[in-house]
Structure formats: C-alpha cells, structure tokens
Structure 1
Amino acid sequence: WTLPADAAVGPRGKPAVAPGFGSQITIWHDGNTFTVTRVFSAGGVAVTHSLDGVETRSRTPGRLCEGDSQSVWTAAWQDNAVVTTLIGAIPPGATAPTKMDVKATFRAPAADTLTVELTFRTTGSAEPRVVSTTYKKIGPAAAQPVAAVTAATPATLSQIEWLSGTWIGTTGTSAFEERWTPPGGGSMLAVARSLRNGVMNSFEFICIVQRNGGLVYTAMPNGRQPATDFTLTRIEPKSVTFENPAHDFPKMVRYTLGDDGTLEAVVSGTEKQKPQVFRFRKQ
C-alpha cells in the first residue's frame, strides 16, 4: 500500500501521513495474525499483532548508541476494521511500560483502497486528535519475510557495571585510556585515546547497548562511520566477550577484570593476526 500521487502535502513539502506511518506500508493477514510493516527511509519496522485482544510486544532497534525500545499492543476486529492499540511504551533501559492510548484503525472501503485512522492525544489537549491517511494498493504483499533466528547471549548492562570508570595504562612513553559511563538509559558510553610522548595518535568512541535481549559493542575508531558492531558471545562475572567474524580486524573484543582490580582488554583477529593486549588501572 502506498500514498497516491495526489496525496496531501504537509507544511514541509512532504506527504502528510499519520504520525508513525510512512509513505508505504505492507500488511500480511493470516487468520488471527495481522502484521504491519511501516517503511521509512532508514528501513522497515514490522509489528505482528494477535487479533484476539492478547497483549503483544514489539521491539524497535535504537539509533546509534541507543538501546532497544519496546511497544505493548492489543488488536481486534471492530466493525469490519482492524483496530490496533498501543497501550504501553518501554524506553531504552526501562523495564516498566509508560501508559499509552494510541489507536490505529485499518479499513478497506474498496479493494484497492486502505484508510488508516490514527487517534491519539497531544499534550495539553482535552480532546483526542484524529488523523486519517489513505493508501492505494500497488500489488500483493510479498511472502512474509522469516527473520533469521540468531539466539542472543542473554545479558543486561548491570552485569558489566564493573567496566564503568576511568581506566589508564602505560607502556614506556605511551599511555592509553578508556573512560566508561555507568549504565543508564540502555547504554554505556566511552571515549578512548592513546598518547605517545604526550601527543594523541588515536582516539575512539565506543558504546555498549542492550539489543534484542543481549548486548552490542559499537566501535568508532577515530570517529569513523559507519560504526562497527560486535555482538556479545560470552559473559562471566568478571569477563565479557564481543565478536564480529565478518570484520577484518579485530574480530573479537574481550574485557576481563582481574582479582587485583586491573582491567585487561584484548582485541584479536584471525590466527595469523597477533592479538593486542592492553592493561589498565582504575583511576
């Protein structure tokens, strides 16, 4: 389903659509299951609803260095229309949902026409606001994609809170440091740098976020974009390992907290590539 050529244009010169919906959506309806994929410039977001009123949850990946957010939904048939209701939102790092009440009514007045009516309240408004968008059918939905099931290593940021703080190491005339924030809002942020004879020769922005029930380590050496993600593969009380087999170097990043309070960071690649080992003391 896509916006027609004569769709209304908003004040910024872009098509006017209901908040949270893009210019194109795809719908799969199979028995009691109703899946809506909203297509945006950054990609698609699919939400699968159960039409028996049972609560379901969807997960939306966060932006760079932001953890996942979740939405809590109910859905049901009402007067020959499907009505989905967003009843709760869970921001990154939170566990309890914030109460919401946003209804989307999907109705097909004709075989090639779909209206999506969004009902929601805005801050300071006593009456709900209703925004309706009309889409035209451009073809049958493709086969519903089956997401590749990659079991995440379950973990939370609280398990690696020991990584927070300022860590500094030295070798000869070189010094290297990593400064990690405590967990908050579903992420930990860090800045790292290395100096030789007091001159900075490299730096790095790093973050660890909660993603899909596990943790993802994101590295931006010298601020490079796009960032590189490493997925959690192993976690122990005082050790955490992230890997990205497709990356050239490193393919693995591991932090280990020693019994003496020192921190060891190891980055490694293939068997033919020499691992790099950094040892820090907390300041």
Structure 2
Amino acid sequence: MKQFLLSGLLILLMSTVYAQTPTAVDFPKLNWLEGTWTKKVSRPDRSGFERWEKLSPSSLKGIGVTMKGNDTLFVEGLQLQTKENALYYVADVAENKSLTWFKVIAIDADGFTCEDPEHDFPKKIVYARTGDTLKVTISGDGKSIDFFFEKKK
C-alpha cells in the first residue's frame, strides 16, 4: 500500500512540475517588457538601456546597450521567442561565436526566470518588474550581478 501511495504521489508531483513549465501560451505574459528601459547606473559617466519591440504574438526583439559618455562599451542583441512550444531568451553577444539560448523556466505577470546551465556566465537570468522599475539579475558559479532600469515614458 505504501509503495502504491508513493508511486501516486510521485506521478502527481511530476505532473505538477510539468504543468508549471512555461509554454507558448504563456508568451503574452511577457508583453509588459515592450518599450525602452533606461538603466540606473551608479557611475555618473555611464548610461545604458534595453529596448524591446514586439515582432509577432510570440516574438519580442530587444537590444541592450551600455555607454560611457558617447562611447558604446557593450551591445547585445536580445530576443524572447517560442521554439518547440517552449519559451527562450536568446542573447547575441560579440564575445560568443553563436547565440546563447536561455530556456524560460518560470514566468508570471511581473517577470520571468531563464537559464542555460551549460553557459559560462551567466547561467541564470531573472527579470523582475515592480510597476515601472525593473531589476535584472544575472548569476552563475557563485556570482550575482543586479541591474536596475526604469521604464521610459
């Protein structure tokens, strides 16, 4: 009897975990990201932003830029898209020879979490929105870096 109950509990747990994995139908929960987000920086000579635009009902395209005065220090192409009914955050960075695909593992109305455990850094990215402010945390291998943004009106 115990073995039967344990098996039933395991099946229930696995189906609950599977049901929570974001799929293509969850994509509209990401639409709040559309627009320009200005980076709040701690150094007066630095600035930056992320700009996102909706390309289709299941695709957002973005760009992240960091500046020092008028000089561009860092640019990355960003995408949020569906592939095989899963959601992905895709980063295109000059230092990498190919795109980095982070699978979205959690999503709600105010943010999402994605990860690529095989990537060097970051392995995990978390976008968390509170009203018109956004906190993006990149982490991996015991390191964590926070970036703060405000929605440009």
Q: Which has the higher contact order (CA 8 A, sep 6+)?
A: 2
Q: Is the 8 A contact 2:122 2:138 kept in 1?
A: yes
Which position in structure 2 is the counterpart of 1:163?
A: 33
Q: Is the 8 A contact 1:205 1:222 kept in 2?
A: no
Q: Name the one with the larger helix percent.
A: 2
- The CA distance in 1 between the partners of 2:38 and 2:94, in whole Å, is 18
Distance 1:249 1:223, change over 3 A: closer
Which position in structure 2 is the counterpart of 1:264?
A: 135
Which position in structure 2 is the counterpart of 1:245?
A: 117
Deviation digits for residues 149-188 of structure 1, max 9, x if unmatched?
xx55335321110011001113222112110002515311
- The CA distance in 1 between the partners of 2:148 and 2:54, in whole Å, is 20
Deviation digits for residues 63-104 of structure 1, max 9, x if unmatched?
xxxxxxxxxxxxxxxxxxxxxxxxxxxxxxxxxxxxxxxxxx
Q: Which one of 102, 110, 122 corresponds to residue 230 of structure 1? A: 102
- Summarize the alignment of residues 1-283 of structure 1 with structure 2, pairs less than 5 Å apart: 152-155=21-24, 156-171=26-41, 172=43, 173-182=45-54, 184=56, 186-222=58-94, 224-259=96-131, 261-271=132-142, 273=143, 275-283=144-152
How far off its partner does 1:224 sit? Answer: 4.0
- The CA distance in 1 between the partners of 2:90 and 2:63, in whole Å, is 12
Largest Rg, 1 or 2: 1
Secondary structure of 2:56's aligned partner: coil
Give the TM-score normalised by the residue count of structure 2.
0.78
Percent identity, please: 25
| 2:149 partner amino acid | F
- The CA distance in 1 between the partners of 2:109 and 2:130, in whole Å, is 11
| 1:157 partner amino acid | F
How far off its partner does 1:266 sit? Answer: 0.9
Aligned length: 130
| 1:210 partner amino acid | T
- The CA distance in 2 between the partners of 1:165 and 1:217, in whole Å, is 17
The answer for unaligned runs of 5 or more in structure 1 is: 1-150
How far off its partner does 1:264 sit? Answer: 1.0
Q: Is the 8 A contact 1:205 1:223 kept in 2?
A: no
Secondary structure of 1:250's aligned partner: coil
Deviation digits for residues 31-70 of structure 1, max 9, x if unmatched?
xxxxxxxxxxxxxxxxxxxxxxxxxxxxxxxxxxxxxxxx
The answer for unaligned runs of 5 or more in structure 2 is: 1-17
| 1:181 partner amino acid | E
| 1:264 partner amino acid | K
- The CA distance in 2 between the partners of 1:244 and 1:207, in whole Å, is 15
